[in-house]
Copies of this chain bind each other. A is one copy, B any other.
């Protein structure tokens, strides 16, 4: 459940851009700065991040302030929030922002004033504006994740732009289909299955003809997942996850969409099949643990979007000679050198093997029979 977010809100008040990865977000560097603004602007109510997260968030981490907004300049609009999103990613992401920053997040908002013809009054938009009721924005000046007009949802509610028809829905759609490449008949496990992303991943997996196992934290959630078409569910709070997985996935697991990390993930990993694919979306299980200074390899794996793949070279059996001839060519051109550590005598095979395991060789360890 990772974000596509970032808003650049262009106002005349004192704003710093805290830059982190591809995230740009305004941080109000001091509170009460709206006193400097003299126009009769609209007042936005903003939730600030005023104390570093350490463990589970509490009310002390947040403070609500008023911010008086400036008059619109050409190209700008004023948007009023209708629905705001709260998502797991906010916990780890905010840890990287200085105290005093606006809480990050997306919202569905209605344009209530506009000096930009592409964003007319009355239009509904999605914007990465943060936890605030009103926003002045020049979309052309947004450096990334520009606000966009909602497409026609028909009779469906606009709030879905925060869920199945927004970031979480796209997280499921792309993160599962692109990275897991599910095939008809395969077994798929989803952790955090009753969440905004997991519940969609499981349904998409069913649409692709997979057997789907959802792991969630209550019987009610599991019951709901069954109504969505999940074949099996596991309540990790009351069941032994590994044993339950063994029963639910007798043919092993081909795809794992991971929202949680931790011990649930360890159990799933034990039952993965050859060429299994794991899409690591989040690591909720440890979002609330430890101070922000502690390095978390699982969290880093997501943020850095790393890809790790184990292999046995026989998978390229069909291209075997291609590799040999390429290396041979480089050797002949003097571009590739080799070294051999040769042990003589067939009787010395174990000795050569044991020596190689201890790092006694340089380059390839071989045994010459005679």
Contact = CB atoms under 8 A, between A and B. Distances in A.
A41 interface: no
Nearest to A156: B331
Given A163-B340, A305-B275, A338-B200, A4 B369 contact: no
B317 A145 contact: yes
A250 interface: no
B300 A269 contact: yes
Contact of A145 (B200, B308, B314, B324): B314
A170 to B, nearest CB: 4
A276 B297 contact: no
Contact of A363 (B195, B315, B316): B195
B311 A279 contact: yes
A308 B309 contact: yes
Contact of A311 (B144, B277, B305): B305
A155 B54 CA distance: 66
A167 B21 contact: no
Contacts of A306: 269, 272, 275-278, 309-310
Nearest to A174: B316
Identical copies of this chain, number: 2
Interface of A: 2-5, 21-22, 45, 47, 56-59, 61-62, 64, 80-88, 90-91, 103, 131, 133, 144-145, 148, 151, 153-154, 156, 159-160, 162-175, 178-179, 194-196, 199-200, 203-204, 207, 217-218, 220-221, 224, 227-228, 266, 269-270, 272-281, 284, 287-288, 295, 297, 300-317, 319-321, 323-328, 330-332, 335-340, 342-343, 346-347, 349-350, 352-354, 356-359, 361-369
20 contacts: A2-B311, A2-B312, A21-B274, A47-B350, A91-B357, A159-B340, A163-B340, A170-B320, A170-B324, A196-B363, A199-B363, A203-B336, A207-B336, A266-B297, A272-B304, A274-B305, A279-B309, A287-B357, A302-B311, A304-B310
